[in-house]
Amino acid sequence: MRAAMFYGPGDLRVEEVPEPVPGPEQVKIKIAFNGICGSDLHEYYGAPMMTPVAAPHPLTGVQVPVILGHEAAGTVVEVGPDADEITEGDLVAIEPIVSCGSCPACASGAYNHCARMAFHGFSTTGGGLAEYTVVARKMAHVLPAGLTPHQAALVEPMAVAYHAVRRTEAGQGDLCVVFGAGPIGLGVMFALQALGASAIVVEPSEQRRAVAQKLGAAYVLDPGDGDVAASIQDITSGRGATACIDAAGVPSTLSDSLRSVMVEGRVVLVGVSMEPVPLMTPLLFMTEATVTASAAYCGDFPAVIESMRQGHYPLDGWISTIGLDHVVADGFEALRAGRATKILVSPS
């Protein structure tokens, strides 16, 4: 089969590799789509953090080259022994976390903080940028009839966003601020809308602001137009937003958030900054806001899938698709240059 093999920064090759075979409690999936994520771009263009380059991964024993792709979805084509409650032909979204099951975090149920965590598509023997992949049955979430492979491939990034919204404790009627209108920022907006809340979206890109406006943002602000926090205070009549979610990963966003959030509100960091984030202590005292982070997801896939079934995650205007042979030129490079919002790769 054909797969995109990652050898190190700047070195991603579409090659022929052996087709995987499912073992006990595993399923084999024909990949329909795999989304390209900001984490993939960081591995390719920067210093790898997720892929085991220098030494084998402590849980899986895998080392580069690896098949990239952790936002994967497709159709079950083979079911291994003892893989229950799943059949050939089922459309599934793959939850890529591989946890040890025995560390304190796993024992507490917080498997997204596993001490030896691996990710399918970064540090396992398979990934979604391939024609087929094999995963443990528990990693394959079956989608109900009526949902599409495009939606299935969005479950993973939308679960990242949903987990962040859970940490805001927002609800019906709340007005929240979303910094960044990339895929995670849009996912945060969709999750807020599903709760009956609404979003002020702050985004420097004119193209992404237009997308957010079209998809239902209550307000869209350009940070280049002036003092964002002052605008948010005006919109909320001085009360401040219920919560602020940083989906941009920009150090200055924390300061803007603390000036925009209501007294005793919540600030959630889901975008990962590659630079130190200054903690504005005077602003914390002024608001008594809770500042927290959000790491991936933990049990969030079923809720996202149900919300999709209810129609809360539109696809129009922000999704584009490419073939596997164009994954670098029309995928990685297009996203890095800001020419697309979300790209799904079809290995077929």
Two structure tokens written together for 332: 């990685």
For the chain, give every domain's residue range: 2-142+318-346, 161-293
What is the model's pLDDT at position 234?
98
Please determine, for residue 282, whether its predicted confidence score (pLDDT) is greater than 90: no
Residue 294: how many other CB atoms lie within 10 Å: 24
Q: What is the DSSP string of 128-156?
A: SSBSEEEEEGGGEEEPPTT--HHHHHHHH
Cα radius of gyration rounded to whole Å, the chain = 20
Question: pLDDT tens for residues 226-275?
Answer: 999 999 999 999 999 999 999 998 888 999 999 999 999 999 999 987 78
Q: Tell me the pLDDT tens digit for each residue of 131-156.
A: 999 999 999 999 999 999 999 999 99
Q: Which residues 6+ apart lie within 8 Å of 282 measured at CB?
A: none
- d(Cα 245, Cα 270) in Å, to the nearest integer? 7
pLDDT at 283: 83
pLDDT category, 167, cuts 50, 70, 90? very high
**Are 33 and 150 contacting, i.e. CB atoms less than 8 angstroms apart?**
yes
Average pLDDT of the residues of the chain: 96
What end-to-end distance do the CA atoms of the chain give, in Å? 10
pLDDT band at 348 (very low <50, low <70, confident <90, very high): confident
Q: How many residues are present in the chain?
A: 348
Q: Are strands 175-179 and 71-79 parallel, antiparallel or unpaired?
A: unpaired
Task: Tell me the pLDDT tens digit for each residue of 310-345.
Answer: 999 999 999 999 999 999 999 999 999 999 999 999
Residue 280's pLDDT band (boundaries 50, 70, 90)?
A: low
Cβ neighbours of residue 326 closer than 8 Å, sequence gap 6 or more: none
pLDDT digits (tens, 9 = 90+) for 97-120: 999 999 999 999 999 999 999 999
Residue 276: what pLDDT? Answer: 79
* CATH of span 2-142+318-346: 3.90.180.10
Report DSSP state, residue 244: E
Which residue from 178, 179, 184 is spatially nearest to 163, judged by alpha carbons?
184
pLDDT of residue 140: 98
Is pLDDT at 281 greater than 80 in this prediction? no
The beta strand positions in the chain, using DSSP E, are 2-8, 11-16, 26-35, 66-67, 71-79, 91-94, 97-98, 118-119, 132-136, 140-142, 175-179, 198-202, 219-221, 241-246, 261-269, 290-293, 319-323, 342-346
Q: Which is more confidently placed, 283 or 228?
A: 228
Q: Which two tokens stand for residue 180?
A: 């960044």
pLDDT of residue 277: 75
pLDDT band at 300 (very low <50, low <70, confident <90, very high): very high
Percent of the chain at pLDDT above 70? Answer: 100
CATH-assigned architecture of domain 161-293: 3-Layer(aba) Sandwich (3.40)
Asked whether the predicted pLDDT for residue 4 surpasses 70, the reply is: yes
